[in-house]
Amino acid sequence: MIARVRVYAPATLSNLGPGFDVLGLAVEQPGDYVEAEWSETPGVEIVEVRGDTGRLTTDPTRNVVGITATAALRAFDARKTDSRPPGVRVWLDKRMPLASGLGSSAASSVGGALAVSELLGGVFDRDELIACALEGERAVSGGGHADNVAACVAGGIILIRSYTPMEMLSLPVPDALRVAVVHPHVSVMTAEARRLVTECRFEIAQAVANLGQLGALVTALHRGDLELLGRAISDDLVEPIRAPLVPGFADVKQTALEAGALGCSLSGSGPSVFAFASSDDQAASLAACMAARFREVAGLDSDTYAGTVNTRGARRVDEDE
Ligand code: HSE
């Protein structure tokens, strides 16, 4: 067994337009770091949470990193194959915004589960890590959606084919695909944004529209067809309901598309907005122009990120990364 580990769990975009709760994409930055070491005190202790401006608890039964570290220890014990030290001490370093639609709780959830798995010698496979991480997501979001945690664990672009039983498929990532993300400084609580969706009644024509776009999106990824991918970033179901939660969203999306974005939509429950691009320069300039538009139309400051898709997913890193 390893004495101490440090892991990195990336932020994730989810839904990607037509794929509510079934599509996810991992980005390189931002993300969370989790460190863990064995302890002689039974259970999980969260020693410190950094980067959260005091908003998160260190109570391991209420912070997702504690919930999923505990779930991972429980899953290991259930195997009855090996013994382990009694407890784990955990440090969580949030390097990404909370309640942003970028899978913040998923990153911490995956970080907790992966850190324990690595302490134990890397015992859990992808599906087991997702199962542990989902316990954190269930605790905070009012539902067990796996699009963020699956993308965070596996990296790349994923499709949840089935929730019962859980089956995740990794989709091809076109080499030229770049992602621009803007996080305007306004909070949207995932549980509330999900309530709006689950309480809504939809027309069959809306479902038909999304089914067509979802199929087109998967086809585009397999063909490496960025133009078709961009056209498939369209959501008749959820985006219209959630757009009013993000001041300026319609203007920002229009600006991104006029500036040449392949496609643009909310990330998860928002308020973050993503756009797809076909070069590093285009992604950087889209991120900048979307942020400028949020300031202009809604008076909101933003964080911006631009880069490639993270195809490695959550991973163990060196102490000094
Ligand atoms: N798929 C989830 C949702 C992600 O849209 O509610 C939450 O960020």
Q: Cα(13)–Cα(203) distance, rounded to whole angstroms? A: 26
- Taking the centre of ligand 1 as the mean of its atom positions, its distance from the CA of residue 198, in whole angstroms, is 11
Residue 296: CA count within 13 A, CB half-sphere:
10
Does 19 contact ligand 1 (Cβ within 6 A)? no
- What pLDDT does 110 receive? 98
How much of the chain is in helix, strand and coil states, percent to nearest 5?
40, 25, 35
pLDDT in tens, 136-161: 998 887 678 999 999 999 999 999 99
- Report yes or no: 38 and 1 within 8 Å, Cβ to Cβ: yes
How confident is the model at residue 70, as a pLDDT?
Answer: 98
147 lines ligand 1 (CB under 6 A): yes
Residue 181 clears pLDDT 90, i.e. is over it:
yes
Whole-model pTM over 0.75: yes
pLDDT digits (tens, 9 = 90+) for 212-239: 999 999 999 999 999 999 999 999 999 9
Q: Indicate the length of the chain as a whole number.
A: 321
Percent of the chain with pLDDT over 70: 100
Confidence band for 2, pLDDT divided at 50, 70 and 90: confident
Interval 171-194 mean pLDDT:
94
Give the pLDDT score at 166.
92
- With a 6 Å cutoff on the Cβ, whether 35 touches ligand 1 is no
CB 303 within 8 A of CB 208: no
How far apart are alpha carbons 108 and 129 in whole angstroms? 12
Mean pLDDT score across all residues of the chain: 96
Q: Say whether 178-308 and 4-171+310-316 share the same fold.
A: no
pLDDT of residue 55: 92
Cα–ligand 1 centroid distance for 103 (angstroms):
8
pLDDT tens-digit profile of 261-313? 999 999 999 999 999 999 999 999 999 999 999 999 999 999 999 999 999 99
What's the pLDDT at 1? Answer: 76
- Is the bond leading into 174 cis (omega within 30 degrees of zero)? no
Residues 6+ away with beta carbon under 8 Å from 125 = none
Residue 191, pLDDT above cutoff 90: no
Q: CATH for 178-308?
A: 3.30.70.890
Domain boundaries, the chain: 4-171+310-316, 178-308
Q: Which CATH number fits domain 4-171+310-316: 3.30.230.10, 1.10.3720.10, 3.90.1150.10, 3.20.20.70?
A: 3.30.230.10
Could you tell me the distance, in angstroms and rounded to a whole number, from the CA of residue 20 to the centre of ligand 1?
7
Q: Say if ligand 1 is within 6 A of residue 190 CB.
A: yes
pLDDT digits (tens, 9 = 90+) for 102-131: 999 999 999 999 999 999 999 999 999 999
Taking CA atoms only, the protein residue closest to ligand 1 atom 4 is 268
Q: Say if residues 101 and 268 touch (Cβ distance below 8 Å).
A: yes
Q: Whose CA is nearest to atom 1 of ligand 1?
A: 21
Token couple for 107: 């990153």
Q: What is the pLDDT of residue 190?
A: 83
Q: How much distance in Å is there from the Cα of 265 to the middle of ligand 1?
A: 13
**Cβ 117 under 6 angstroms from ligand 1:** no
Determine the residue type at 133: A
State percent of the chain over pLDDT 90. Answer: 90
Other beta carbons within 10 angstroms of residue 142's beta carbon come to: 16
What confidence score (pLDDT) does residue 141 get?
75
